[in-house]
Amino acid sequence: MTDTVNTEIFHWSGLHGLPQFDRIADADFAAAFEAGFAEHEAEIDAIAGNPEVPNFENTIVALEIAGDDLSRVSSLFWNRAGAHTNPDIQALEREIAPKMSRHYSKIGMNAALFARIDQLWERREILGLDLEQSRVLERHWKGFVKSGAKLEKTEQERLAAINERLAGLGARFGQNVLSDEKSWNLLLDSKDDLAGLPDFLLGAMAEAAAQAGHKGKYAVTLSRSIIEPFLSFSESRALREEAFRAWAARGANGGETDNRAIIRETLALRNEKATLLGYPNYAALKLDNTMAKTPDAVNDLLNKVWAKAMERAREEERDLAELAREGGSNHDIMPWDWRFYAEKLRARRFSFSEAELKPYLQLEKIIEACFDVAHRLFGITAREVKGVASYHPDVRTFEIHDRDGALKALFLGDYFARSSKRSGAWMSSFQSQHRLTLKNGQQGEIPIIYNVCNFAKPAEGQAALLSLDDARTLFHEFGHALHGMLSNVCYPSVSGTSVSRDFVELPSQLYEHWLTVPEILTRYALHKDTGQPMPKALLDKVLAARTFNSGFATVEFTSSALVDMAFHTRGPVEDPMAVQAEVLAALGMPQSITMRHASPHFQHVFAGDGYSAGYYSYMWSEVLDADAFAAFEETGNPFDPETARRLADHVYSIGGAVDPEETYKAFRGKLPSPDAMLVKKGLAA
């Protein structure tokens, strides 16, 4: 370690091993990465050059604990790059992303190291490995093969170059979307411009304007927590259209932040990578180790749902058009109209509006509800620790204790939108759970998990209020967090959310169900002014409206997933935007609905590789989560202790230590069909 490296980046000395974020400056990262790369490379060389006969301990376990310093600086850096970035961090991100790729490509193509792993793989049946060890060995062996370990040297060099370029393109794609989001706002102050906007939205828009230096005005921003309610309530069709077009155009505005050329190059490189590795297309490569297994299986599910969703969406559109005509508007329903008339129709059909519901959904109370459900299901308890410095003043720190009072995990919650944070919501970790002995002699580590959301920040002294979708998002991301915090495995590579892409959304989507369990809403949906619980009449209406507008939401999602699959199954794509248009035209995409994520801002797919040929996984997991919650419903108790125990043992704590199909069947006794999911969405009887 050189004198120029801030060792706090590697040796965390805060609460229970938390990083001391206030001691880590942006300028510390470059040197720390170089030191981390060098140390990891030396560790890899030692494993590869070990003169002893390869065994699980001296090869696989050694790999599992190698690179700890690099993992720590990486977790800190990518957190900052996503949740609290700035020009210096963005410049370093563009530099580090390809360096990281180059570093791991070199490891993946280390012939001596792969020879050791390959020997173990060939002898795996006689090594006496338990189930988790077998999964860990398989993960390492397949990972090296997909990294090019079996390719000729010239092919390996080309694959490394492709991966390096893809890493740089992904970093640039995400930065471009954030730049477009930061650079646009719509300032309003006249009475006519503000017509129809409820108090909760006006407060959030006033705060957004003040943060942008326009105190006394109201800002429409491209944060979902502002743009979506604005589209739902603004009486000005012209302003709705202006805001919607800006939202839809992210990443496609021309100039330096335009992502369309990045998409084209990314798809070409991914296709070339798949060909090098012997796959017919990139989707086949990505799906090789998932529950779905093949693109045909994915498309079969998506197309089945598409037909049902379109049928429902057409009915919904006719209802909205009729409502518009009643109000004297004879125009076609366009994307900037749908949410506006849907909100009016919901108010009429179910006698409540989002504005009536929102005062009962205080952020603070919904956080408490998340913790209470986790306590009832899994016996854990959360305790907030005040005064702990984090990467931003808004971030809150919680200790998570198990049934016996022992410290189980640390959880950080980062809930409010800001210009330095990318859009969306996500879970990640600074440290994953495992039980291995580290080089410093420490036995295992507790997970340090964080959630990032983008809720509108209220004015000083006001309660932060959520929409029902916001509240679901909070539960969803906490479901991911629980997957990390409840992990109980030995090896880091199969810890927590280290599972196949189409299984990882099960714990999060399943957790959403408990938000609308009546006893949870009754206890935590308390009015911000009176403290009174949501009236039963309103609660009943909310529950009755759960499938309202489901055609629209499903068409938004499924069209995005089908375009993703088309991009990654067609081979080279000369004009991605033409392919997107072609797919949507073939589907009969209505002009009144757009993709949830148009390709130039489809960060799931292009700002990195996480959900490429994988956006479908939310729906695949939705099939599982509908069936999984039915297990509780069948008992008559949403917190049935025995069902909760099986859920903890076979879903939330097992990580990737067991094949997902097998562990789901251990929980439920069978694999589900899509029928329960279609019923849950209101797309089937």
> Could you give the C-alpha distances from 356 to 347, 375, 466, 541, in angstroms and in order?
9, 30, 12, 12
Cβ neighbours of residue 241 closer than 8 Å, sequence gap 6 or more: 334, 336
Q: How far apart are CA 426 and CA 473, in angstroms?
A: 9
Q: How far apart are CA 448 and CA 654, in angstroms?
A: 17
Q: How far apart are CA 464 and CA 359, in angstroms?
A: 9
Given the DSSP bridges, would you call strands 426-431 and 218-220 parallel, antiparallel or unpaired? Answer: unpaired
Taking Cα atoms as reference points, which of 549, 559, 554, 551 lies closest to residue 597? 559
Q: How far apart are CA 95 and CA 98, in angstroms?
A: 6
How far does CA 430 lie from the centroid of its chain? 16
Q: How far apart are CA 497 and CA 485, in angstroms?
A: 10
SS3 606: helix
Q: How far apart are CA 388 and CA 325, in angstroms?
A: 56
Alpha-carbon torsion angle 319, 321, 325, 329, nearest 10: 150
Instruction: State the catalytic residues.
Output: 477
Residue given tokens 């859920």 in the structure block: 647
CB atoms within 10 A of CB 348: 12
Cβ(266)–Cβ(231) under 8 Å?
A: no
Cβ(472)–Cβ(512) under 8 Å?
A: yes
Element (H, E) at 621: helix 617-633
> Could you give the C-alpha distances from 13 to 5, 17, 20, 184, 436, in angstroms and in order?
16, 5, 6, 40, 20
State the amino acid at position 670 in one-letter form: K
How far does CA 354 lie from the centroid of its chain? 25
Given the DSSP bridges, would you call strands 407-416 and 448-455 parallel, antiparallel or unpaired? Answer: parallel
**Which contacts qualify for 308-312: CB closer than 8 Å, 24 or more apart?**
308/554, 308/678, 308/683, 308/684, 309/550, 309/551, 309/554, 309/555, 309/558, 309/683, 310/551, 310/555, 310/587, 310/588, 310/590, 311/551, 311/683, 312/550, 312/551, 312/554, 312/682, 312/683
Element (H, E) at 408: strand 407-416
Cβ(270)–Cβ(573) under 8 Å?
A: no
Q: How far apart are CA 193 and CA 202, in angstroms?
A: 11
SS3 431: strand
- Sheet arrangement for strand 426-431: 381-385, 396-401, 407-416, 448-455, 426-431
- Give the DSSP letter string of 439-497: TTS-EEE--EEEEEEEEPPPPTTSPPB--HHHHHHHHHHHHHHHHHHS---S-GGGSTT
451 - beta bridge partners? Answer: 413, 427
